[in-house]
Amino acid sequence: MTRTPAAPHAAWRNWAGTESAVAAEVRQPRDVTEISKAVTWAAEHGTTVRTRGSGHSFNGIAAAHGLALDLARWTGIASADLDTGEVTVRAGTTLATLNADLDRLGLAMSNLGDIDTQTISGAISTGTHGTGARLGGIATQVVGLELVLADGSVVSCSDSARPDLFAAARVGLGALGVISAVTLRTEPSFVLAAEERPEPLDEVVARLDEYCAANDHFEFFWFPYGQQALVKRNNRLPAGTPPRPMSRAREFFEYEVVENAAFGALCRVGRRVPKLVRPLNKMSGSLISGRSYSDVSHKVFATKRRVRFVECEYAIPREAVGEVLAELRVRVPALADPVMFPVEVRVAARDDIWLSTAYGRESAYLAIHQYAGMPYRAYVDLFESVVAAVGGRPHWGKVHNLDATALRARYPRFDDFRRVRSEVDPEGRFGNPYLDRVLGSATA
């Protein structure tokens, strides 16, 4: 039985609790016609339109102060071609739901991040990614988009139809229109072998290129103040290999007890008594033991995150990882406020999407986190000063301080994006304060 979504509220707050907004009007369209009518209504009333998504961005990109669209009634796979693997999905579908639906069709996405609560439209619009030196972010798996533009018209775009709009809209920040449907290039479902274990940080950094080349998906976590890294290697198994997942008891212990309940308890202690953060941080690293298992891909990619945090993430040239981590290892211990959460390091192949953080270069992603409720601004400032020296590009859905002037220097196609925006949304119908900061005013 399908559960009918509850009526949305005008007041909105994101998952991390860092952003809030009160919309003048909230609508839950059930089809493209209703999305179009909502956008037209906003134009007639001279107000803005934003799609809320799942609220998993850490900044104000999804904040709606005019008309808020909630696409919770516009979900599911609309069509699937099992021969080509092309699947069209409605924009309000969460990644978790999409993964389950694809699995039932014998299909899978090639790469995913480690959180699956985002909607597909929100994930691609903010540049959400996983890890893998030969793979791009989720937006690189998109082969077509359907959008409702500022005048209420419904248009489709791809490499061959309105290619400039497609190059901009795959990571479009919600600035070009309301994405109503996404066509993805999927592949036959596959099993991943997961291996996770602590290793010396110095060795991991020194051999990063080797590890990235030798594994389909490679990443590691480093708890500040420690010398060890938690390394994760996920590799594809031959077609037809049966998965060997953790037992339910082991899975519950590893994820619910250790990574959520126990780690959450340590974080709460550290928030109350900051001087204990350093020893608790080292204890957190020691709590995680090595483990090996295999399962269908999306169950390996995604993990449950119940401990809330604030995150800032930058893409940097892959060759700069050692330099940046060396700076952080020296400077983070000098912060007045200690850091409870680990630094995450992932990689991605270059792509050609105009506002993708991996545009034109082989990239590494460094993400810093702080437990919700603990001071994080000085940490973010420090981190941004370090990654600025190597041309870092901020994740569009996470905390950062850059504006349009700084971002133009880091994106070769920034002005092309603004040109397309001015063509399809000359009045800034899809704007909000965050977009005004990072893109400049649409009417300027």
The tokens for 303 are 């993990």
pLDDT (average), residues 152-176 = 98
Report whether pLDDT(416) > 90: yes
Residues 232-267: tens digit of each pLDDT: 999 999 999 999 998 888 887 777 877 888 888 888
Band of residue 285 on the pLDDT scale cut at 50, 70, 90: low
Note the pLDDT of residue 414.
98
Q: Are 325 and 265 in contact (CB under 8 A)?
A: no
The helix or strand, by DSSP H or E, that contains position 344, with its residue range, turns out to be strand 343-348
Banded pLDDT at 165 (limits 50, 70, 90):
very high
Q: Could you tell me how far CA 322 lies from the centroid of its own chain?
A: 23
Q: Are 319 and 275 in contact (CB under 8 A)?
A: no
What pLDDT, on a 0 to 100 scale, did the predictor assign at position 218? 98
Q: Are strands 228-236 and 217-222 parallel, antiparallel or unpaired?
A: antiparallel
Q: pLDDT value at position 1?
A: 45
User: What DSSP state is assigned to residue 288?
Assistant: P
Per-residue pLDDT tens over the stretch 78-115: 999 999 999 999 999 999 999 999 999 999 999 999 99
Whether 374 and 308 have beta carbons less than 8 Å apart is answered as no
- What pLDDT was estimated at residue 425? 97
For 354-397, what is each residue's pLDDT tens digit?
999 999 999 999 999 999 999 999 999 999 999 999 999 999 99
CA distance 438 to 440: 6
Asked whether the predicted pLDDT for residue 286 surpasses 90, the reply is no
DSSP string, 116-171: --SBHHHHHHTT----BTT---GGGGEEEEEEE-TTS-EEEE-SSSSHHHHHHHTT
Residue 305, pLDDT > 90, answer no
What is the predicted pLDDT for the residue at 231? 96
Output the pLDDT for position 5.
65
Domains in the chain, start-ordered, CATH in brackets? 77-188 (3.30.465.10), 191-394 (3.40.462.10)
Separation of CA 316 from chain center: 16
pLDDT digits (tens, 9 = 90+) for 167-226: 999 999 999 999 999 999 999 999 999 999 999 999 999 999 999 999 999 999 998 888
Residue with tokens 């919600």: 174
Q: Are 186 and 204 in contact (CB under 8 A)?
A: no
Can you tell me the mean pLDDT for 316-323? 97
Query: Amino acid identity, residue 269?
Result: V
Output the pLDDT for position 255.
78
Share of the chain above pLDDT 70, in %: 96
Task: Report pLDDT digits (tens) over 171-186.
Answer: 999 999 999 999 999 9
Mean residue pLDDT across the chain: 94
CB-based contact 56:79 (threshold 8 Å): no
User: How far apart are alpha carbons 5 and 390 in whole angstroms?
Assistant: 45
